Amino acid sequence: MSQSIDTFNPFDPTGMFKGIRDSNMDTWSRMMIELVNTNAYAQATGAMLDTWLSNSAPLRKALEAALVQVLANFHLPTRDEVAGLAERLTNIEMRLDDMEGKLDESLRAARETAGSKARSGGKTKSSHGEGQP
Amino acid sequence: MTTAETRLPTGADVLSELQKIYERAKTFKRLLTSDAKVAQTPKTVIWALNKARLYRYAPVVPEEQRHKIPLFLVFAIMNRPHVLDLRPGHSFVEYMLRHGYDVYLLDWGAPGPEDRNLKFDDYTLEYLPRAIRKVKSVSGSDQFNMLGWCLGALISTMYAALRPDDGLKDLVLLTAPLDFTDKTAGGFARWTSTPAFDPDKIVDAFGNVPGEMIDYGAKALKPVENFIRNYMNLWDNLDNPKVVEAWHAMNTWVRDIIPMAGAAYSQLITEFYKENRLMAGTLLLRGERVDLGRLKANVLNVIAEADHITPPCQSEGLMDRIGSQDKEVFRVKGGHIGIMAGSGAEKSTWPHIEKWLAARAD
């Protein structure tokens, strides 16, 4: 997309950069990909992250402890307590889902039984009118 | 003789150019900060558990012309699955519906603080089997086909190996990160293999790993492409509605980031990236050893040749270890997302997947 002299537009602020950009972008991109794929980069970023996490941990824990204390003073549940309640709700959802699964199985078995009875020439009426469980 | 030499710009030219630049800048800003309409294919929620939702897409082909075995799509746990149904006219879901498939999609949802203890054990053996049960129940088929993408492919593979008799017929894996033998293949493997990188410290600090952190990590693998060239290309093509529409939809999906459950992240880094337990045959999910030799479904392993997130070597190793008789590797030119959501996907990846499934259908 570089501008030739014929199409040179002095008022396009990006135009001046396009030529330089297009000729150098691929090289720059390859260089950066190579850089982030070096062991030195991996170790440096790993060390930086580790330092930041280690240094911020005491402050974070102090803040959390203070917050728990404040919430307790106001008789409000902490985040862990709310999260625990949500986990219990999910467990109840799972039990309900288990029940739904068993119900699906029972309905299917009942349909198959009714179907086989009908096929064997019996005059048993099927009580299942629904298409899908 | 050049234009610049023949006529000097007048004041009106200057104003006109400034006006154009202003308009382009406004469009540019709007595209960066607004959301395109994505995931437009009509669908209904047929099952829900915690944050997970299972969708069934409205079929567009009459029932008698439809494939009997449903197609179940499983996307990664740290991104929205809308990329499979990006925009009308360019949607894998839409494409498969047009070809007569009964399509289901599992959206894992965004984990909240209460989900920080969710692990791959839970996704593979608690959530996925329940969703599959529902797919079978609604479709009325005992068999199903499954397509997993990225970490969704990892979960699908583990499930297929742990439950080989559950009715899985055909398994399509897209850019599946499974084999971490080579610690120098790709930035993620290299970064996470350094002793200083401790996932437990990250989880301890954040609970769930913030989406921004995962997004930054993915973008940092190709920094110039993602932080600069992506936006330069948009600026250059602002007058091309097709490019703008595609860019806007993709950017909407990229911006819609979600956290990853803390325990799953820690497990991914330690048990998969660092210790390569799946390939070593030592991975235990809820006490069950994941033996890839037990996987017997037909497998199509789609590999993106220019994938910087899941380098090809992380997917290739699977083929020698699985017990499947019918297995194929399909290599596509393109990147991790581009092979399914790029402009060429409809001409290469989608037809190949469709034909592979159709050849084994019903």
pLDDT of B94 reads: 97
- Residues of chain B numbered 153-182 and touching chain A (CB < 8 Å): none
What's the pLDDT at A120? 79
Average pLDDT, chain A: 82
Selecting from A37, A54, A133 the residue whose C-beta is nearest the C-beta of B187 gives A37
pLDDT tens digits, one per residue of B237-250: 999 999 999 999 99
Mean pLDDT, chain B, whole residue set: 94
Does the active-site annotation cover B115?
no
Percent above pLDDT 70 for chain A: 77
Burial class (CB in 10 A: 0-12, 13-18, 19+), A106: exposed
What residues 308-337 of chain B have any CB closer than 8 A to a CB of chain A?
308
Q: Give the C-alpha separation, B361 to B355, whole Å.
A: 10
Instruction: Report the distance separating Cα A67 and Cα B300, nearest Å.
Output: 52
Segments making up each domain of chain A, as ranges: 14-76, 77-117
The answer to whether B135 and B54 have CB atoms below 8 angstroms apart is yes
Helix H or strand E segment including B231: helix B230-236
Note if B165 is an active site residue. Answer: no
Three-state secondary structure of B8-63: CCCHHHHHHHHHHHHHHHHHHHHHHHCCCCCCCCCEEEEEEECCEEEEEECCCCCH
Distance CA(B104)–CA(A104), nearest Å, equals: 18
**To the nearest 10°, the Cα dihedral for B11, B15, B21, B22?**
150
For residue range B204-232, list pLDDT tens digits in order. 999 999 999 999 999 999 999 999 999 98
DSSP sequence for chain A: -PPPSTT--TT-TTHHHHHHHHHHHHHHHHHHHHHHTSHHHHHHHHHHHHHHHHHHHHHHHHHHHHHHHHHHHTT---HHHHHHHHHHHHHHHHHHHHHHHHHHHHHHHHHHHHHHHHHTT--PPP----S--
The 3-state DSSP class for residue B352 equals helix
Q: What is the dihedral of CA B43, B214, B252, A34, to 10 degrees?
A: -130
In a mutational test of the B interface, the residue from A32, A38, A103, A105 whose CB has the highest number of chain B CBs within 10 Å is A32
Note the pLDDT tens digit of each residue in B303-356: 999 999 999 999 999 999 999 999 999 999 999 999 999 989 999 999 999 999
Q: Which of B67, B102, B107, B150 is catalytic?
A: B150
Query: Does the pLDDT of residue B3 top 70, yes or no?
Result: no
Query: Percentage of residues in chain B with pLDDT exceeding 90?
Result: 89
Q: Which pLDDT score is estimated for A133? A: 35
Cα atoms in the Cβ-side hemisphere of radius 13 Å centred on B124:
25
Contact B67, B361 (CB under 8 A): yes
**Highest mean pLDDT: which of A5-19, B5-19, B182-196, B276-290?**
B276-290
CB B175 within 8 A of CB B309: yes
Using one digit for the tens of pLDDT, what is the confidence trace for B261-295? 999 999 999 999 999 999 999 999 999 999 999 99
Query: Does residue A127 have a pLDDT over 80?
Result: no
Residue B106's alpha-carbon distances to B129, B131, B256, in angstroms, are: 11, 7, 17
Q: Report CA Rg, chain B.
A: 22
CA distance, residue B56 to nearest chain A CA (Å)? 14
**8 Å CB contact of B21 and A56:** no
b or e along B251-274 (b: 16 or more beta carbons within 10 Å of the residue's beta carbon)?
bbbbebbbbbbbbbbbbbbebbbb
What value does the mean pLDDT take over residues B58-65?
A: 95
CA A123, distance to chain mean position in Å, is: 53
Of the candidates B314, B174, B202, B308, the residue with the CA atom closest to the CA atom of residue B260: B202
The mean pLDDT value for A23-29 works out to: 86
> In this structure, are residues B322 and B293 in contact, taking their beta carbons and an 8 Å threshold?
yes
Helix axes of A79-119 and B128-139: crossing angle, nearest 10 degrees: 30
Alpha-carbon gap, residue B156 to B300, rounded angstroms: 12
Portion 45-84 of B in contact with A at CB < 8 A: 49-50
Of residues B74, B166, B64, the one with CA closest to residue B127: B74
pLDDT exceeds 80 at position B177:
yes
pLDDT tens-place string over residues B92-151: 999 999 999 999 999 999 999 999 999 999 999 999 999 999 999 999 999 999 999 999
Predicted local distance difference test score (pLDDT) of residue B129: 97
Q: Collapsing DSSP states into helix, strand and coil, what is residue B183? A: coil
Task: Give the pLDDT confidence of A32-53 residue by residue, as tens digits.
Answer: 999 999 999 999 999 999 999 9
Structure tokens given for B156:
């699908």
